């Protein structure tokens, strides 16, 4: 039953990455009602910055310290988010949502090429991290330890984000704003600040996702565009704006992908998109969304 276990772990690995991307996308939509098409690029920024800093430091620092540098990817994405929201999105809140969508599409194009400009057309990677951990034996199956590390990060992120949104004062403000922006504003919540914080937090999650996936799949141009659509599938299944939904959606997509790669590789992606379309058709608010 080694293969079964491996399959399950692979699914959890996918799900972790997907959750990191999708939870940010969903959080931003939930609070600000903006579907950020550039979200995948913030994930890519996380990957590039982590690969870059680790590449710079790899000769100087011990491997264990390089793991800490993964955080730079998340921080870089968060910084980008903190700049993007006030400069490019804030002027558009009163406009029709077409413009918000187009703005984020424009940012997608810009960010894509900024990464090409900064890091060139060739992929960056830091496989030293995944190599350093080697493989471990899980219930008799050998499995890359780095993937387990990613699964743990994903799980911690889910718990941490949940605690943050449901247990802290900031979380209360976040949820109040997402329920009813005007009411929240009337209650004295600084909506502007909540928006920029929520957007930054969403980008931080995406950047973290990109950073931790990088030692495995590298930092590649186009990774953001590909990831965005999978993140869409996740949030559509789970429900736009719902964190629980992002988690369940990520698990569903993770498992379907693993199954798909094994049994129906040709139509694996098509099946995922169809699942998303069917869920949206039957339950437009997703499995966990508010109507």
Which chain residues interact with another protein by CB under 8 A?
35, 37, 88, 91-92, 95, 97-99, 101-103, 105-114, 116-117, 121, 225, 229, 232-233, 236, 240, 265-270, 273-274, 276-277, 280-281, 284
**CA angle (235, 237, 241) in 5-degree steps:** 35
Question: How is residue 215 written in tokens?
Answer: 């030692």
Closest to another protein by CB, 88 or 164: 88
CB of residue 175 to another protein, shortest distance in Å? 20
**With respect to another protein, which residue has the nearer C-beta, 4 or 117?**
117
Task: Compute φ and ψ for 141, nearest 5 degrees.
Answer: -100, 140
Nearest to another protein of 163, 261 (CB atom): 261
Report d(CA 130, CA 12) in Å as an integer: 17
Spatial distance between the Cα atoms of 197 and 174, rounded to a whole number of angstroms: 9
* Alpha carbons 186 and 123: distance in angstroms, whole number: 49
Closest approach of Cβ 110 to another protein, in Å?
4
Give the shortest CB-253-to-another protein separation in angstroms.
Answer: 12
**CB 231 → another protein: shortest distance, Å?**
11
Q: Would you say 63 or 87 has its CB closer to another protein?
A: 87
Using alpha carbons only, give the angle 149, 200, 249 rounded to the nearest 5 degrees: 55
Give min distance, CB of 236 to another protein, in A.
6
Q: Output 169 or 281, the one with its CB closest to another protein.
A: 281
Cβ-in-10-Å burial (0-12, 13-18, 19+) of 1 comes to exposed
Contact residues for 183 (Cβ-Cβ < 8 A; gap 6+) = 176
């Amino acid at each position: 039953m080694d293969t079964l276990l491996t399959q399950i772990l692979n699914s959890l690995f996918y799900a972790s990455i997907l959750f990191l991307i999708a939870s940010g996308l969903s959080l931003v939509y939930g609070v600000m009602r903006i579907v950020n098409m550039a979200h995948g690029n913030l994930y890519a920024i996380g990957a590039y910055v982590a690969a870059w800093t680790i590449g710079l430091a790899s000769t100087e620092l011990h491997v264990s310290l390089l793991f800490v540098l993964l955080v730079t990817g998340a921080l870089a994405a968060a910084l980008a988010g903190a700049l993007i929201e006030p400069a490019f999105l804030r002027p558009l809140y009163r406009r029709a949502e077409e413009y918000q969508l187009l703005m984020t599409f424009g940012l997608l194009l810009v960010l894509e090429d900024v990464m090409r400009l900064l890091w060139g057309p060739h992929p960056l990677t830091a496989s030293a991290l995944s190599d350093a951990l080697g493989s471990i034996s899980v219930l008799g199956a050998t499995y890359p330890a780095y993937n387990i590390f990613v699964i743990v990060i994903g799980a911690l992120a889910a718990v941490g984000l949940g605690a943050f949104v449901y247990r802290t004062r900031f979380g209360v403000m976040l949820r109040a704003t997402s329920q009813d922006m005007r009411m929240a504003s009337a209650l004295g919540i600084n909506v502007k600040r909540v928006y920029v914080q929520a957007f930054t937090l969403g980008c931080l999650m995406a950047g973290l996702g990109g950073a931790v996936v990088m030692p495995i799949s590298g930092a590649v141009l186009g990774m953001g565009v590909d990831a965005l659509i999978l993140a869409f599938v996740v949030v559509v299944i789970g429900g736009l704006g719902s964190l629980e939904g992002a988690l369940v959606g990520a698990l569903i997509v993770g498992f379907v992908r693993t199954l798909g790669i094994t049994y129906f590789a040709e139509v694996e992606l098509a099946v995922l998109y169809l699942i998303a379309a069917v869920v949206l058709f039957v339950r437009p608010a997703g499995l966990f969304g508010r109507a």
